[in-house]
A and B are shown apart, each in its own frame.
Chain A
Amino acid sequence: MSTSVCKNFVSTVIISCCLTLLSCNNGDKETPKEQKEQSAETNQENTSSKALTAGPFTVLKLDKQALIDLFNNTGANAKKILIQFSDDGSSQFMQAVAFGANKNNVYQNVLKTLTPASTNSWDTTGLKIMGNNELTKKQIKTLIGGTINATNAKDLYFYPIKNSNNQIYFIVSTSLVPFTTTGPKVMLTYPTGGEDSKPSPPAPPCAVCE
């Protein structure tokens, strides 16, 4: 650590904090704001009819070759994939990337981008926690019906959803279910038989990952 850098930083902290002393007093809440979600499936209007933020979500796709690459990285022993959200502030949608990782979350230096599979969007009101999500090798093998190889691998589709803890996670499926249109509303339709990604925390490391 550089002493001069530290002093500069400390000065910045002192000045900024003194100026905002009154605004710093909301830190004793024991839990994040408890906001009743109107509906985890508060499906939104078509993106063309609503002012967009960079925040809305859409169905994302991890293509089959990317899936194979995440698990077949030379010398690696991936037991699951970690999914992280990404935000470039200019895209219509919140995006995501995936890393292969062992069961203790030690990741491999292989990153694959999940790409939008729809031009429609879904969003939800209130707090949105965007931590890491996990999908185990076991779950993926269940989805594709066997070992992750060129014969079995399929494109995976990630459907965004929010749980009662305000965490965004995904229902993952090998099927792409189109958004459904009812009058002016365009609704996200969830697939049946999907596997849920696990927001971690709070999900502990998988005991049986494959």
Chain B
Amino acid sequence: MAQVKFYGMTLDFQFVRDYFKTPEFKKFILQPYMEDAEKWRDEYFLLIYAIDEKGIPMKKKDLAIVENDTYQALNRLELGNISFNRAQLQPFIDEDNASGNKFTALYFSPRQYGEYVSYKVVAITESFRNPSIIEEDLKPSPPAPPAPGDIY
């Protein structure tokens, strides 16, 4: 059986704070990418764009790979853009503010969503203790309906 593998990824939380407080920031969009593949071993990672109110990218950034958190898909998969908008980010920002900027990263963990891979997101601390109470399940759209507030 071929391997189509997706990795857990982390994103510096300061990047999230910085863009969230930028008035023109609308949302993040995550995209899958692949390095050179080996036979029957495709491995996908994520990069992220900060998008403004007009849908124009403000910044592009790699996410960090978490080597031992992988999801191996066994079925056909479509590789869609994944949106992470202000409404979905707000609870993480609120929890971060409530405890005085404690989070160091957002952690994206891959899992199956129909014929797509979704990412369960929590915020984590440097010591990996006391991760956020909040979590969000990010689904690619299409085929998932757009998240509330997720149009330009």
Once bound together, how far apart are the Cα atoms of A84 and B80, in whole Å? Answer: 6
A67-104 near B? 1/0 per residue, CB < 8 Å: 00000000000000010111111100000010101001
Q: How far is the CA of A77 from the CA of B117 in the complex (A)?
A: 28
Known contacts A6-B135, A90-B2; is A51 also within 8 Å of B78 by CB? no
Number of B interface residues in the complex (CB < 8 A): 66
Q: B122 near A10 (CB under 8 angstroms)?
A: yes
What separation, in Å, do the CA atoms of A109 and B142 have in the docked complex?
8
Q: Is the CB of A97 within 8 A of B78?
A: yes
Q: Whole-angstrom distance between the alpha carbons of A78 and B126 in the complex?
A: 46
For the side of the interface on A, what is the size category?
Answer: 35 or more
A1 and B135 contacting across the interface, CB-CB below 8 Å: yes
Query: Quick check: is B101 within 8 A (CB to CB) of the other chain?
Result: no
Q: Would you give the shortest CB distance from B123 to chain A, in whole angstroms? A: 10
Distance (whole angstroms) from the CB of A95 to the closest CB of chain B: 8
Residue of A20, A29, A82 near B66 (CB, 8 A) is A20
19 contacts between A and B (CB under 8 A): A12-B109, A14-B128, A16-B8, A24-B65, A28-B12, A33-B62, A53-B41, A54-B2, A84-B80, A87-B79, A88-B77, A101-B142, A104-B151, A109-B143, A126-B36, A129-B33, A129-B47, A131-B81, A166-B33
Question: What residues make up the interface of A, taking CB atoms closer than 8 Å to B?
Answer: 1, 6, 9-10, 12-14, 16-21, 23-33, 51-55, 82, 84-90, 97, 99, 101, 104-107, 109, 111, 125-132, 166, 200-202, 204-205
Known interface pairs A27-B12, A27-B64; 20 further A-B residue pairs with C-beta atoms within 8 A, sorted by A's residue number: A13-B122, A19-B68, A23-B68, A27-B63, A32-B62, A53-B39, A54-B40, A55-B42, A84-B79, A86-B77, A86-B78, A87-B4, A89-B4, A90-B2, A101-B142, A104-B151, A107-B143, A111-B143, A126-B36, A201-B51
